[in-house]
Structure 1
């Protein structure tokens, strides 16, 4: 089932995945490029990439990840483990009549994209990652690592673990919370380096306590915020947060891939002002070993976490240049 959104040139489509419906938005024809969003977003975070990739000769498809937007939201917490999300991506490729695709992800979507390439190299022949670099599975359980971060403060991933806890903070004012969260991680609105870190929660506090007050980030208009808020006001946040509640399960599920490199042609784009690239600087330095097929790695100066929204023109140029080398426009994707 598909419907045309004439105002934007996007086609909205629903396909069947392992857990039920998967909502897609697509534009263009040519080799398939699958775009996977992060937290707390939706297909809409790729609104600036869909037309650019379509104009360059690609079939660009952005999905709502399981638990988000108009896609299925299974009730069980453990229905959001990484292997389930990889299976969803494979189902999308096949439902669209293709045998293979390039996959690009942002934030936790970058991790989903990387693992899709790792687990199903037969389907995903190239992998692009924005904001969050590839980190091979290994070391102690993630829950133990996150619990040891921050000293007397609580890392946001640990804060997200208890079902209902973060939801109680966010859902009474979804729009306001999203505005603050987006601003906290945007280069033009984030607090100064001496301010309390918004990735951590103080004793007895909330994440929102550390969000900056002031205008929206330059990339986020009131209409854009309405789109994001409208989706989460309808769906709630549990499906989105359940991704974080499966990281220890993923660690166990992916044991066979311990230390494994991601061999396909790859791309990484991050921002110099993004905590992800700062904390994971060692992972970026390890790319010659962990990403032997790396084509390009770029840090955009003065860019925060929301790379493709903060700097759409640069991101689009990097994506199109990379795609031209790994999947020339007009070639068959099967």
Structure 2
């Protein structure tokens, strides 16, 4: 069996802390010393989704800091849905960098973490000097209200983002069997276990999980890994995580002054060729020359699904570290 190109993850090597932010506290998992790289996960994940990147970045001379986004894991979970605006997530990232004693950072995000990272760079270019986006490309604020756009994407069915809008509905599907639901969604968006019909839409009266594949875990996920995710979400519930989806229209209103504005810092994009996101956001990728004029490299990994830094950790690590080292010498 081929060996990984970078050091393996060891929980004992990770430093954990809680830092104060405007919305409460954010849990940070750190490894290494050097220039700060802030890692922001997506839905439904945790800091643990960067477990393969933490030791690799540390070995390459960087200080890697993976957070639990507000609403997740050990971080604070404000009760109000409007506390999960994009502006709040950006404020959390700013507070984390300051709490870690740094004056600047490179920010990297996956899934929902990608737009959080991109907007952090957009709103605070003084603090976030470069941005790496995984799976979800940067798409600046546009003229249409997001919920209207998502309704059109669903066609005769309901697009998954629209399905998540109503408070309590997705929770009622997920929380009776958190571990089973997580196993299903991870498999449904992974190479090798992804259903041909996809899971982007929900039929009337149905559930998102109705289209999850049957069978075992995807190859990148062990039972022990799933235990970590399930244990945290069984403890916290899913409302905080789902509230990110319930703020898309508020974000659109909050970011009116940045309509169509590009992120100009050096940037990196890495997506999976089998990821549905690279299909329904293909236009955003084509627009990179305008929306990400500082783009250094864009990669689409053949045979890779959505959970890119976990499905293909060695390849992602090589691309990310190579890009980071290029920033230092460029």
Please confirm whether the aligned pair reaches a TM-score higher than 0.5, indicating the same fold.
yes
Name the stretch that deviates more: 227-236 or 146-155: 146-155
| Residue 78 of structure 2: aligned partner | 74
Partner residue of 1:268?
Answer: 269
How many angstroms apart in 1 are the aligned matches of 2:132 and 2:11?
28
User: Corresponding residue for 2:300?
Assistant: 299
Instruction: Give the alignment partner of residue 47 of structure 1, picking from 38, 51, 54.
Output: 51
Q: Which residue of 2 aligns with 1:331?
A: none
1:225-278, Cα deviation, whole Å (9 max, x unpaired) = 000000000000000000000000000000111110100000000000001111
Paired residues of 1:266 and 1:295 also in contact (CA < 8 A): yes
**Distance (Å, rounded) in 2 between the aligned partners of 1:291 and 1:154:** 31
Please say if 1:133 is aligned against 2:145.
no
Is contact 1:80–1:242 with CA below 8 Å preserved after alignment? yes
2:259 is aligned to 258
Q: Does residue 187 of structure 1 match 2:191?
A: yes
Q: Does residue 107 of the first structure (1) align with residue 103 of the second (2)?
A: no
Match in the other structure for 1:220:
221
Match of 2:166 among 162, 166, 169: 162
Unaligned runs of 5+ in 1: 329-334
Deviation of 1:99 after TM superposition, in Å, equals 0.8
2:175 aligns with 171
1:84 aligns with 88
Structure 1 distance, partners of 2:280, 2:54, is: 30
Matched, 1:322 2:297: no
Residue number among 119, 123, 126 corresponding to 1:122 in the alignment = 126
- Residue 199 of structure 1 and its aligned partner are, at CA, apart by 1.5
Residues of 1 paired with 2:309 and 2:281: CA distance? 19
CA distance in structure 1 between the aligned counterparts of 2:244 and 2:174, rounded to whole angstroms: 16
Q: Deviations over 1:103-143 (max 9, x none)?
A: 00000100000000000000000000000001111121001
Aligned to 1:284: 285
Q: Using the alignment, how far apart are the partners of 1:33 and 1:118 within structure 2?
A: 17
Deviates more, 1:293-302 or 1:6-15: 6-15
Describe the superposition over 1:194-220 as per-residue Cα deviations: whole angstroms up to 9, x where unpaired. Answer: x3x312111111001000001100000
Q: Which residue is 1:16 aligned to?
A: 20
3-state secondary structure, aligned to 1:8: helix
Q: For residues 131-166 of structure 1, give each alpha carbon's deviation from its aligned partner in whole angstroms, at most 9, with x where no partner exists.
A: 000111112100111112222211111111111010
Shift of 1:7: 4.2
Partner of 1:153: 157
Give the conservation status (yes or no) of the 8 Å contact 1:31–1:327.
no
Aligned length: 321
| Post-superposition offset of 1:8 | 3.5
Question: C-alpha distance in 2, partners of 1:150/1:15?
Answer: 39
Partner of residue 5, structure 2: none
**TM-score normalised to the size of structure 1?**
0.95
1:332 aligns to what? none
Q: Write the distance in 2 (CA, Å) between the matches of 1:150 and 1:292.
A: 31
